[in-house]
A and B are shown apart, each in its own frame.
Chain A
Amino acid sequence: MKITLNGDPAEVDAVTLAAALAELGYGEGPFATALNRDFVPACERAETPLSDNDAIEVIAPMQGG
């Protein structure tokens, strides 16, 4: 299905958020996820279904002021 990953178009076979992240190559690293602008806790990714045109955001630590 067609999704958006961090603002860019992407295509995945996965039907859950957790499976999509694995398919896209996200490993263990520290990151957090949002689906259609709502936060999805790590423990809920496996039960979070994906639909066409969903927007996934994956964010990780970076320098801040």
Chain B
Amino acid sequence: MQIYGETFDSRLMLGTARYPSPDILRQAIAASGAKIVTVSLRREAAGERAGQAFWDIIREAGVSVLPNTAGCHSVREAVTTAEMAREVFGTTLIKLEVIGDADTLQPDLFGLVEATQILSSEGFQVLAYTTEDLVAADRLVEAGCRVLMPWGSPIGSARGLNNVYGLRAMRARFPDLTLIVDAGIGVPSHASQAMELGYDGVLLSSAVALAGDPVKMAEAFRLAVAAGRLGYEADPLLPRDMAEPSTPVLGQALLGGAVLS
């Protein structure tokens, strides 16, 4: 998977939040095979050092980090958060979220385009958390974005791919752009489906972190993503309305039905 010219040998990106323990997070990252994990920033009290402890775990895991602007509801907030993240994490990559709706956590596409313009001009490499809207996607690309991350369904909803048609249309519109389904993935088959549509990767978090056995689920997603990608590359059959015999009928013995005279 290509992210701004860098190749990663896993198509699964994993969130790091809401795991039962730091040790399970560590094991889940390893089991998932993910080479990029998402991280965030929050207020820290003096002497707290929680940030340092978490940062140590991630560095020991030997994976790249993708900071997000989760929870930002305005362009200014998202831009400032991105600037702070670049300094703390030492990367120009930013998963840009500008949230526009409190119930669905749907991205504010107008704010997203504006923030992308600002951050691209400041040298950031933006991965935009967006919807499957093609017009917004065009604007994001014009603003310098080279990785689009359309939602599967609302963040944390585990509903899978709500708009397969829209995702397929986006893949067709941008054949050369890195497209990653982000948000709403609940079970491994959702991830396989995204990969079978030709998406370059998937990003998921709660589906693994909140599973009864996060480490086992991380492995299940690793396999599902790999299987879905292989299926896509193998050029799958298209659905059809009527049956087509899978066993050849030529030379079949006449053993039933009407006897022809």
In the bound complex, do residue A61 and residue B54 qualify as a contact, i.e. CB atoms below 8 Å apart?
yes
- Give CA–CA (A33, B89) in the complex, Å: 13
- Give CA–CA (A7, B156) in the complex, Å: 28
- Chain B contacts of A37 at CB under 8 A? 76-77, 80
- Give CA–CA (A61, B47) in the complex, Å: 14
Total contacting residues, chain A, CB less than 8 A = 26
8 A Cβ contacts from B18-75 to A:
18-19, 25, 38-52, 54-55, 58, 67-68, 70
Which listed residue (B46, B58, B83) contacts A39, Cβ 8 A? Answer: B83
- Give CA–CA (A18, B141) in the complex, Å: 39
Per-residue contact bits, chain A 27-59, to B (CB 8 Å; 1 contact, 0 not): 101111110011101100000000000000111
Name the interface size band of chain B.
Answer: 35 or more
With both beta carbons as reference points, the residue of chain A lying nearest to B79 in the complex is identified as A39
Per-residue contact bits, chain B 204-221, to A (CB 8 Å; 1 contact, 0 not): 011001000000000000
In the bound complex, do residue A32 and residue B39 qualify as a contact, i.e. CB atoms below 8 Å apart?
no
Closest Cβ of chain B to A9, distance in Å, is 14
In the bound complex, do residue B41 and residue A59 qualify as a contact, i.e. CB atoms below 8 Å apart?
yes
- Give CA–CA (A26, B46) in the complex, Å: 5
- Give CA–CA (A64, B57) in the complex, Å: 13
In the complex with contacts A39-B83, A64-B68, A30-B40 CB distance below 8 A: no
Which listed residue (A39, A59, A63) contacts B17, Cβ 8 A? Answer: A63
- Give CA–CA (A59, B206) in the complex, Å: 23
Give the number of residue pairs across the A-B interface with Cβ within 8 Å: 110
- Give CA–CA (A65, B55) in the complex, Å: 15
Per-residue contact bits, chain B 136-156, to A (CB 8 Å; 1 contact, 0 not): 000000000000000000011
Asked if B84 is at the interface of the complex by the 8 Å CB criterion, the answer is yes
In the complex with contacts A29-B52, A30-B55, A65-B17 CB distance below 8 A: yes
In the complex with contacts A39-B84, A59-B42, A60-B88, A65-B155 CB distance below 8 A: yes
- Chain A contacts of B178 at CB under 8 A? none
In the bound complex, do residue A41 and residue B87 qualify as a contact, i.e. CB atoms below 8 Å apart?
yes
In the bound complex, do residue A30 and residue B43 qualify as a contact, i.e. CB atoms below 8 Å apart?
no
In the bound complex, do residue B44 and residue A63 qualify as a contact, i.e. CB atoms below 8 Å apart?
no
- Give A contacts to B, CB under 8 Å: 6-7, 24-27, 29-34, 37-39, 41-42, 57-65
* 12 sampled A-B residue pairs with Cβ under 8 A: A6-B43, A27-B47, A60-B41, A60-B43, A60-B44, A60-B88, A61-B58, A62-B54, A63-B15, A63-B25, A64-B40, A65-B18
- Give B contacts to A, CB under 8 Å: 15-19, 25, 38-52, 54-55, 58, 67-68, 70, 76-77, 80-81, 83-85, 87-89, 155-156, 205-206, 209
What are the nearest 3 A-B pairs in CB distance?
A60-B51, A64-B40, A25-B46
